[in-house]
Structure 1
Amino acid sequence: MSLFPTGADWRRAAKDLVEGLAAWHIWTLLAFNDIRQRYKRSRFGQFWITLSTGIFIAGIGSVYSFLFGQPVETYIPYLAVNIVIWGMLAGIVTDSTAAFTQAGSILGQQALPKTIFVMRVIVRQLIILAHNLVIIALVFLLFGIVPTAAAVMAVPGLLLLAVASLPAGMTIGLLCTRFRDLPQIIQSLLQVAFFLTPVMWHVDQLGGRVPYVIDFNPFAIFLLLVADPLHGHWPGIGRYVQALAIIGTMVLVTAPLFARFRARIVYWL
């Protein structure tokens, strides 16, 4: 049996993508329901998302501002923005590992487009991001920080991140459905990526050394595209070129993989 997708495979994959994206009411409903179920009997409900993230930022920010010799009034706002954006990046990767296995009961009963369940992950993380944006607003208010005009550039950065999440989520979800040890490996790699990404440290602290830590780190590139504008910096055109190159590469990898093995997902569940 050929490992390369046939013409019929490509047509079915394209149909899955088009129908899945068009079924926005399904993946939106599923995403909101996931959040509601997660905090169903909680007193604070969905705002536990905001509370837990805020406590983490306050605790880590107080300690690391002294470790890095940074003023608390500048470091905590910097950390708040980065942690919130990193939370979305890591959340998409982590949730994508179970994108199809979590939907096993649904896929076993209905022939729904597989794209729906990747979009479910992306929307779920966007909802969590919306909750956590409250933290950024409160921290900025507390420390008297006024966003600059550059903040509007966080929107195209976030759009690029969402676009990149679709092929990334498809590939991760498909591979993790086939290879059940892979989610643990990805989780371990995410922990390494956290320390290699400028979440708690500044890019300037590298002093021009080992630039590949940033330039060849997809997490760093998308983090900076969204976070830098909120810090008052205009992203360079090079960052957008890097992001588009990453998206293009992921599409080239994901498209044949999804076309060839999309139909097998149900059998791997």
Structure 2
Amino acid sequence: MSQAHSNLHRSAWADWWEGTRRTDIWWTLAWFDIVLRYRRSMLGPFWLTLSMGLMIGGMGPLYSSLFGTELSKFFPFLALGIIFWGFFSSMVSDSCNAFIASANYLKQGYFPISLFVWRSMSRNLIVFAHQIVLYIPVAIWAGISLKSSVLLVIPAFILLLINAHALGLLLGLICTRFRDVAQIVTSVMQMAMFLTPVFWLPESLPGRAKYILWNPLAQMLDLLRAPLMGNVSPMYNWYGILGWTAFCVAAAALLFAKYRRRVVYWL
């Protein structure tokens, strides 16, 4: 039996693990994606850092005045909101095209499709690493004193990565089969940005609108942002994200097991 034939008849778990363990492939592909994107550029991905820094610096004083909030309190809140939301948004949009953008590889030979989800995630992690450094001068200027609760950002970030990978498989499969879904997801993410406390403070909501904070993006953002501001996110956010994670993983596992072999025929 040929290697390609045997690979196609692996179990879903073995197929997923084969793509996951090949860090040498998906990390190299992600790195070259960044290199090629910013080829002949003097600052490379730091252009993203610069542009985001200018946006945070311009919006901070303006929105602080609009909401009547002290700048030293609002500035780090806004900075983390914009940085993490940019990470969420790019991760979701890239998930929709994870397999479509890798069509050349998938058509030429056998590759576990999970490999290309890891590639997409790694590319966004590299960009995120260039942007999160903006928070350091903001935190120093605002005089934020971090407590031991800052360690909660580690399990929160792990949950984020688990969700990103599950959504990568889920949206990647659906958007490869139904190309219009990517446009729907983009529109939903644009709307969700205004329903998530990225630019506005949760305490500014009237009591009857608090249900907006139940959306998974708002809960995930609070789990990541609160520890970095010296606070602790409420337990209901942890319960909500754990439930959402279980749902995403179950849905992704079901679709992956059933349709992973059809991806190459949908490209």
Normalised to the residue count of structure 1, the TM-score between the two structures is: 0.92
The match for 2:100 is: 101
How far apart are residue 211 of structure 1 and its match?
A: 2.9
Q: Secondary structure of 2:97's match? A: coil
Which residue in 2 is equivalent to 1:3? none
Q: Shift of residue 11 of structure 1? A: 5.2
Cα deviation for residue 10 of structure 1 reads 9.7
Counterpart residue type for residue 255 of structure 1: A
Q: CA contact under 8 A between 1:10 and 1:259: conserved in structure 2?
A: no
Measured in 2, the distance between the counterparts of 1:111 and 1:56 equals: 43
Structure 1 gaps of 5+ residues are 1-8
2:222 corresponds in structure 1 to 224
Q: CA deviation at 1:264?
A: 1.0
The one-letter code sitting in structure 1 at the alignment partner of 2:239 is V
> Percent identical across equivalent pairs?
40
Indicate the residue corresponding to 1:250 in structure 2. 248
TM superposition shift of 1:125 = 1.6
| Distance of aligned partners of 1:60 and 1:154 in 2 relative to their CA distance in 1, 3 Å threshold | same
Q: Secondary structure of 2:49's partner? A: helix
Aligned to 1:5: none
What per-residue deviation string (whole Å, max 9, x for no partner) do you get for residues 40-96 of structure 1?
Answer: 111111211211111111122222111111222221111011111111111110111
Bigger RCO (CA 8 Å, 6+ sep): 1
Instruction: Report 1:71-82 matches (<5 A).
Output: 71-82=70-81
Ranges in structure 2 where 5+ consecutive residues have no aligned partner:
1-7
Q: Within the alignment, does 1:172 sit opposite 2:176 as a pair?
A: no
Aligned positions of 1:2-17 closer than 5 A: 12-17=11-16
Residues 1:29 and 2:28 are matched in the alignment: yes
SS in 1 for 2:208: coil
Partners of 1:102 and 1:61 in 2: how far apart?
36
Residue 260 (structure 2) pairs with residue 259 (structure 1) = no
Matched, 1:136 2:135: yes
CA distance, structure 1, for counterparts of residue 140 and residue 197 of structure 2? 23
Secondary structure at the aligned position of 1:28 is classed as: helix
Residue number in structure 2 paired with 1:194: 193
Distance 1:41 1:97 in 2: 28
* Whole-Å separation in 1 of the counterparts to 2:105 and 2:17: 20
Q: How large is the Cα RMSD of the aligned pairs? A: 1.8
Q: Which residue of 2 is the match for residue 39 of structure 1?
A: 38
Residue aligning to 2:4: none
4+ long deviations beyond 6 Å: none
Query: Would the aligned equivalents of 2:95 and 2:168 in 1 still touch at CA under 8 Å?
Result: yes
How far the C-alpha of 1:199 sits from its partner, in A, is 0.7
Deviation sequence 1:216-267 (CA, Å, 0-9, x none): x111111111111111111233222211111111122111211111111111
User: Which residue is 2:114 aligned to?
Assistant: 115
Counterpart position of 2:3: none
